[in-house]
Structure 1
Amino acid sequence: MNERKAVFFDVDGTLFKQGKNVPKSTIRAIAKIRENGHLAFVCTGRSRVMVPKTPILDIGFDGVVAACGMYADYQGKLLFAEEMRQEVLDDILPVLQRTETMYILEGTEYIYYDENTIGNAIDDWYIDAIRTMIPGHFIPVPKDSCKIRASKVSIQVPPQRAHEVIEAAKKNFQILLHYDNIGEIVPKGYTKASGIRRVCELLGIDRADTIAVGDSINDVDMLQFAGCGIAMGNATEPAKEIADYVTTDIFEDGIWNAMAHMGLL
């Protein structure tokens, strides 16, 4: 075990919430732990292109783990970037199209949408936010699937077709449902925890020296894997139950209090 820790922070619900600013205490806490010699990483289900400079990367991080463990960089240098195999794409895309599932293929550089189903999105603000965040990088799915470079798929399934999509996806994917019919599908074997594990192997970081901070169902695996798992006060019950420590709400200095509890400040 080393005195230097590597802290992996989820984004949505942990560092910030859509439509609100990153708490000033969060920015101060991350700057302080880095000043004290610790490493700070973003660890998100978002694809890399969906991790914006403002307001996230401007906080100041040593690296990014993105796309549920399929991508990582450190100090501006790529560590790894995995993509879905061609045969996997060719297997799942017809199912999504047949079931009129709204789907978005998320890659390192581009987000691809299906022109026939994009109108089925319940939350237009989400689509509008993507267009605003990455103008020029939100493009229609190419007719030739060989041109697609994607790591994961975000889906919104018609409720009556959810079972059909889930059954078809089971072969090659693990399914993370945030609601009954809204979630993401990721190639089997990839999670936030697998991304952290691989980063640790590449950088020579002991698992015991890792800390993961999150709030949602897709953070449970990394909270369980890390040397210490911290759930936000606003976290879901599954995240709180698996965590070693539950801090305060994101807007009640949750990150600052978590880092203080760990003695990193």
Structure 2
Amino acid sequence: MTFDLGGSSTAPGLVAQGVERKLVALDVDGTLMTYDEFLSEEVCDAVSDVRAAGHQVVLATGRPLVALMPVVQLLGIDDGWVVCSNGSVTARIAPESTNGFVLDDVVMFDPHQALRVVREHMPLAKVAVEEIGVGYWVNEVFPERMLHGLHTVTEFDEFHGRETARVVAADAQAPRREFQEALRLLGLVDTYFVIGSTRWMDVAPHGVTKASALERLRGLLGIAREHTVAIGDGGNDVDMLAWAGRGVAMGHAEAQVIAAADEVTGSILDDGAVSVLRSILLG
């Protein structure tokens, strides 16, 4: 189910004469912020300068909305949009609202059958069902900092009827053909990525990715595809990098991510995103 929950503004920013306004999509963990959640002053300054130049910066992340808002505040972003939960949730930044955001577009589904398939094929995986703007319902306690927001432990049977934007599994095994076919029959798809040493899997409706949400925003803003830039490092960034007019992989990214990109920058330890953001200011 897809629905719009908030108004939005499409007024263009002020860009230098002769410079085309760009949509700049930025992954967070492993791209702007280290996996232990350090955000450098250089990254903050570069993001601020790109925004000040009139370009539309959109944070596009696997994080849930509740975990992204602190990053939004650290970066000083006070307008525009964010894409969360790997494309299932798009929100407009609204400092005047209680939570600092207004939901703009959300893709939801009933997770009951997906959870049955996950439990059948990955019985040892920890499973979480996202509660938008709050946190997760989980089948058991997750290790600290593996998930953000409030965690509510519940039995598998109690997940039934709780619509969600995605299902997350930690310590997920490599996908098997039978597992992926079962998801396909449900109209769902799995996406794998690694955070630290933990293998994660997202289950979401087929066709829902960071790229699909960004394409919607691109059309809303009236920005040409060739004026889009994306930077990322994970398996959940592959579609986004392929979608962008200029897709940039971080230097520490895996081979499949680098293959989807047009270029490669430095690693997260070298603040590789900064040089890319600075280059945008040159036109």
Shorter-chain TM range is 0.7 to 0.9
- Residues paired across the two proteins, number: 249
Q: Are 1:34 and 2:51 counterparts?
A: yes
In structure 1, the residue corresponding to 2:270 is in which secondary structure? coil
Task: Indicate the percent of aligned positions where both proteins have the same amino acid.
Answer: 27
Q: 2:152 is matched by which residue type in structure 1?
A: I
CA shift digits 1:114-148 (9 cap, x unpaired): 14xx5xxxxx6xx31157x42xx211347544552
In structure 2, distance between residues paired with 1:212 and 1:161? 27
Q: Map of 1:16-27 to 2, 5 A cutoff?
A: 16-27=33-44
CA shift digits 1:36-68 (9 cap, x unpaired): 111111101222223241x45421333210112
In structure 2, the residue corresponding to 1:186 is in which secondary structure? strand
Q: 2:131 is matched by which residue type in structure 1?
A: G
What is the match of residue 121 of structure 1? none
Q: Which moved more, 1:150-159 or 1:243-252?
A: 150-159
In structure 2, the residue corresponding to 1:95 is in which secondary structure? helix
In structure 2, distance between residues paired with 1:37 and 1:241? 30
Q: 1:251 is matched by which residue type in structure 2?
A: L
Q: 1:96 is matched by which residue type in structure 2?
A: V
Q: 1:156/1:164 Cα in 2 relative to 1: closer, same or farther (>3 Å)?
A: farther
Whether the 8 Å CA contact 2:34–2:269 is kept in 1: the answer is no
Q: 1:112 is matched by which residue type in structure 2?
A: W
How far residue 163 of structure 1 moved from its aligned partner, in angstroms, is: 5.5
In structure 2, the residue corresponding to 1:51 is in which secondary structure? helix
Q: Map of 1:167-178 to 2, 5 A cutoff?
A: 167-171=181-185, 172-178=187-193
Q: 2:167 is matched by which residue type in structure 1?
A: V
How far residue 201 of structure 1 moved from its aligned partner, in angstroms, is: 2.0
In structure 2, distance between residues paired with 1:151 and 1:66? 10
In structure 2, distance between residues paired with 1:237 and 1:203? 32
Q: Are 1:216 and 2:238 counterparts?
A: no
Q: Are 1:92 and 2:107 counterparts?
A: no
With the length of structure 2 as denominator, give the TM-score of the two structures: 0.77
How far residue 200 of structure 1 moved from its aligned partner, in angstroms, is: 1.5
Q: 1:183 is matched by which residue type in structure 2?
A: M
1:15 to 32, 35, 48: 32
Q: Map of 1:227-246 to 2, 5 A cutoff?
A: 227-246=245-264
Q: Are 1:104 and 2:134 counterparts?
A: no
In structure 2, distance between residues paired with 1:20 and 1:162? 32
From the two aligned structures, give the one with the greater helix fraction. 1
In structure 1, distance between residues paired with 2:270 and 2:251? 9
In structure 2, the residue corresponding to 1:129 is in which secondary structure? coil
Structure 1, unmatched stretches of 5+, are 119-123
